[in-house]
Amino acid sequence: MEAAKALEQQRLTEVSLCAKEKKDALLDQLRLADKIHRMAALCRKYERPEDPLPESPKMNLREEEMEGWSKENKKLHAALKEAMETAGEDAGVLQNFLKKIAAVSLEA
């Protein structure tokens, strides 16, 4: 009789632990869904309309204009210039995209 009660108590404990784990998992999912919802709301809040495409990107800078730039900035400029040259007709779109990234980075 004592063994049966102990076994029943053990099963109740296991069921209780299992129910608690499921509850905790559901609460974690609810918290994650809430975070995703808040992030989506922030994205909608700061969403910007499409900026007009620039007339002509100025990528041919003289050495004097880049005089105060760091080595990393000069490398980035060279890579951007190469990317825009290979982009052809889409160069304006690429530059517009990079301007948006820079604006968001400055806000952050």
Dump pLDDT digits (tens) for 27-43: 989 888 888 888 888 77
Instruction: Name the H helices within the chain.
Output: 2-45, 71-87, 91-107
Answer yes or no: are the C-beta atoms of 96 and 51 closer than 8 Å.
yes
Answer yes or no: are the C-beta atoms of 91 and 84 closer than 8 Å.
yes
Q: Residue 99: is its pLDDT beyond 50?
A: yes
Q: What is the pLDDT of residue 63?
A: 74
Q: What is the pLDDT of residue 92?
A: 67
Q: Residue 87: is its pLDDT beyond 50?
A: yes
Q: What is the pTM of this model?
A: 0.36
For the chain, what percent of residues have pLDDT higher than 70?
A: 65
Q: Residue 12: is its pLDDT beyond 80?
A: yes
**Domain residue ranges of the chain, discontinuous segments joined by +:** 1-47, 51-108
- As a whole number, mean pLDDT of residues 77-105 equals 68
Of 78, 55, 57, the closest CA to residue 66 belongs to 78
b (16+ CB within 10 A) / e for 5-14: eeeeeeeeee
Q: What is the pLDDT of residue 108?
A: 45
